[in-house]
Chain A
Amino acid sequence: MIGFIIRRIGQAVIVIAGVTVIVFILRHLLPGSIARAIIGLRATPGQVAAFNRENGLDRPLPLQYVTFLNQLLHGNLGYSFKQNMSVDAIVVHDLPNDLLLVGVSLVLALLIAIPVGIWQAVRRNKLVDYAATGISFVLYSMPAYLLGLLLIAFFAVNLRVLPAEAPQQPTIGGVLSDPAGLVLPVATLTLITVALFSRYMRSSAIDSLTQDYMRTARAKGLRQTTILYRHLLRNSLIPIATLVGISMPGILTFGLIVEQLFNFPGVGLAYFNAAVNGDYPVVFGVTVLVAVATVLGNLIADIAYALLDPRVRYD
């Protein structure tokens, strides 16, 4: 098991290294040049040359990459000239808020989707199954911003029970001090994720239900609840672990939309604003960060998979 995790981490490092190469190349593909993109189109050639010399951009590309990598390894994601602060500062400041939003939504989504999926599988082709399937299709096919707007329209505008905006204090403590403001962003992200997960959980559980070992479990005289909990749950979760891993980029993208919609003080919002304003260092820094998050998500999913399924541990 330890060996398996070490190999998996090794693979994750290789993937992240690949991402840094792509980001590095993208930096050099900017329209004009990095210097023009950062100090503006009206800068004189002398100013550009000075900027390049100052930032080491006149050195050969491989050397520049080594420097870039070295900075990344030391947690230096770059410097935003537009905001006149380091990208790290921006990210470190906002990241806990994102972890809160995405983490809480993901956990809630799993807590809802797993029982709902199993319940649908057990009562498949009955009324509750059709109803749950209908709801999840509606949610799944709805764009994230539309779902968010509908929730705002209903709960914030019509009923006036919840604020339409996320907590506006930028620190994690501030965000937590206003839990009511978190409800709608978390609900939006959770509902979309539940729709996806519950569909897969349903088919995975139906698949497990038809397996011979479920018949063996019944032949032992076990209670239905025991059979579902002990024999069905773990076997049905195996494909879900992989699904959660590969859905990570999608969930992060939904998170970005939700942050923009609710003006949530997170990295997603910073990323969105930076992209709109042409604040390239922030865009690149966050790109590296999202890649790391995705790879980490998959790593955790793979480990969860190995924990759930004894057959893969010895590979």
Chain B
Amino acid sequence: MSVLEIDGLRTFIKQRAGVVRAVDGVSFAIEPGETIGLVGESGCGKTMTGLSIMGLLPNRGFIADGAIRFGGADLATVNEAAMRKVRGNEIGIVFQDPMTSLNPTMTIGHQIAEVVSEHRGVSKAAAMARAEEVLALVGMPRPAERLEYYPHQLSGGLRQRVMIGIALACEPRLLIADEPTTALDVTIQDQILALLDELKQRLGMAVLLITHDMGVIAGRADRVLVMYAGKIVEQAVTGQLFHRARHPYTGALLASIPRLDQPVKQRLYAIPGVPPDLANPPAGCRFAPRCRFATDECTGSEPALGGPDPAHPYACFHPIGPGSALTPAEVTEGHDRPGGSGAPSDLLALDHIVKEFPVTRGGLLRRAVGTVKAVSDVTLTIRRGETLGLVGESGCGKTTIGRMIVALERPTSGRVLFEGQDVGGLSGAPLRQVRKDLQIMFQDPYASLDPRMRVGSILREPLQIQGLGSAAEQRARIADLLREVGLSPRSSALYPHEFSGGQRQRIGLARALALSPKIIVADEPVSALDVSIRSQILNLMRRLQAAHGLTYVVISHDLSVIRYLADQVGVMYLGKIVEVGSRTDVYERPAHPYTLGLLNTIPVPDPEVERAKQGVAVAGEIPSAMDPPSGCRFRTRCPLARDICAAEEPVLRSFGGEHQAACHFPLQTPAGESDVSGVPVR
């Protein structure tokens, strides 16, 4: 018997503009011990499906139709008192953002104990004892001591463990995990997913895993439901879905992920357009406006979920198959950089740069209590027209380096040499002059554009500050810029909130381009965007680089994004460059154990590859940058660490050409040495 059976669920949200049909006729069942993956772009109704099951819909949301059968009751119609007995007790839920999902004024012990005493009616002491047990279960180090901690004293990964603890404290039969790792670092994502899997086995519960990340689904889900515009468009066993996708949307989702194994020259497939407005969905197949296979039949009538194989239904008139091209032909066209005659020259050099931030306490009587060593002695060169990728976990110093390159921060020591000139030493007019060549594009397309400025003014501002051109020339330049990034010149009269996230990121790119800079630092340029939109922006960045001979410094925690964009890759850990080299060197012949660990943490959208992975690639969490470990900073998490790693700091050694890594026990043979000093891991 199924744990949960959803039948024809329709969840609507009343808004001023009309009724948003967030979930529109969804049916599926979850069997005991099964993990169901629910995937799709944001705004397709995945989260609303989860919240409908829990009866946690937002204020104006309501279940309009359908049944949610769970434990002999219909959760769509039961009263609040009965629903309360289900929540946290028989169904647990883990939300996306562990930083905001815990009450900041309660100890984590109380937050877990609370749910136990609510549903089990045990004494306070017994509930607290259970909380300790649960913390141990979710892999919290020193659980007894941590009961007294407040959320702000824990890292994001540990907080997410607490969230999982709350969800599992009463041993529910179903766990809903709504983007449980999206807000976390890749290494921590890997740990949390492994934990969820292990707990599922141990507690024998069913899991509904909601995510936009095909890679996360590939290794963890038994069956996958693909959702688009409030409907399920395809459903299959995981392996079958990844290898024999029938719905063009599923195919497009899979094709738009930058993969570690695809040819680098190949353009990413991007799904054109954006998901439809669910207050006013298109007639016929909802994917038709974005589908390259769509015909009149698709816009005229709606395909039902069906097909020859009852175990693999899809809703499409023109299903794709193993034979048909998943992606349009133009995708395979590579795009090359402007023809380089000879070796390109160095444009930017970082010369032993160090950045330390003092940490102070007290308001009136400030005193330094330590320094955060954000960047410790980094030396790098970036060639004209190329892309340097900086990769590492949060807190490794990659953003600080980006800010120093565009002179938003001054190095504590060392030099940032741009065309031979020390940018860090400039001020006043010469600095303003050089800023023209150094531009930045930010991560969050929502926060980085002034909501009270029209797009035209946002783009004109840099031109005005630098005093470039007459008013008419500036207007013409703005129109060009907008066209260049694929927006209509009429957009200049609009405000940022009138655009989608992907369009805003285009505006951010246009702003960075306005002054025709030589370098653009792109700090997590696509991490706030949906996969389909992500590939549009990545393709655009590559096209603009080719057209303008731009030099990029791309900062990202996402190794597949870096691989797609970068020529040179620098892997950072706790303020240090641990490995640097060409893309092929770093991705195909990693010498540093950290690089290998990072590569292994990336969820690959291939079920066989994901399932073959064992254990956790990088254990533990990044130590504090106020007090980094002695010797090699990675040694506390390194599977190969020995005594020398604590005593002596490894220096960067060459592994042939420009490939360098700083490790006492590298995974490759250093240039000029004959014997292999490293021990291969895994």
Contacts and interface: CB of A to CB of B under 8 A. Distances in A.
Interface of A: 7, 10-11, 14, 211-213, 215-223, 226, 230-231, 234-235, 238, 308-311, 315
23 contacts: A14-B364, A211-B100, A212-B97, A212-B100, A212-B101, A213-B100, A213-B101, A213-B102, A215-B95, A215-B101, A216-B103, A221-B88, A221-B118, A221-B119, A222-B118, A231-B106, A235-B103, A235-B105, A309-B105, A310-B105, A311-B150, A311-B152, A315-B361
Nearest to B119: A221
B89 interface: yes
B217 interface: no
Interface of B: 54, 56, 83-89, 92-93, 95, 97, 100-106, 114-115, 118-119, 150, 152, 163, 166-167, 361-365
A212 B56 CA distance: 12
Given A211-B100, A215-B56, A220 B150 contact: no
Contacts of A216: 95, 101-103, 163, 166
A192 to B, nearest CB: 30
A211 B100 CA distance: 7
A272 to B, nearest CB: 34
Contact of B115 (A220, A308, A315): A220
Contacts of B86: 221
Contacts, number: 83
Contacts of A309: 104-105
Contacts of A238: 105
Contact of B114 (A218, A222, A234): A222
B88 A220 contact: yes
Most chain A beta-carbon contacts within 10 A, residue among B103, B104, B106: B103
Nearest to B99: A212
Contacts of A315: 361-362
Contacts of A308: 105
A220 B166 contact: yes
Given A7-B365, A14-B364, A218 B87 contact: yes
Contacts of A219: 54, 56, 87-88, 92-93, 95, 167
A221 B152 CA distance: 24
Closest 8 pairs (CB-CB, A-B): A221-B87, A220-B88, A221-B88, A212-B100, A220-B115, A310-B150, A213-B103, A212-B101
A220 B114 contact: yes
User: What's the dominant secondary structure at chain A's contact region?
Assistant: helix
Nearest to A226: B118
Given A11-B363, A230-B106, 8 more contacts: A213-B104, A219-B95, A220-B87, A221-B85, A221-B86, A221-B115, A231-B103, A308-B105
Nearest to A302: B363
A14 B365 CA distance: 11
A47 to B, nearest CB: 46
Contacts of B166: 216, 220
Contacts of B361: 315
Contacts of A222: 84, 88, 114-115, 118
A231 B104 CA distance: 9
B361 to A, nearest CB: 6
Nearest to A209: B59
Given A219-B54, A221-B89, A235-B105, A10 B365 contact: yes
Contacts of B150: 310-311
A182 to B, nearest CB: 36
Contacts of B115: 220-222
A217 to B, nearest CB: 7
A223 B150 CA distance: 23
A234 B105 CA distance: 7
A220 B102 CA distance: 12
Pick from A211, A215, A309, A315 the residue with the most CB of B within 10 Å.
A215
A212 B163 CA distance: 12
Contacts of A213: 100-104
Given A216-B95, A216-B163, A220-B114, A235 B104 contact: yes
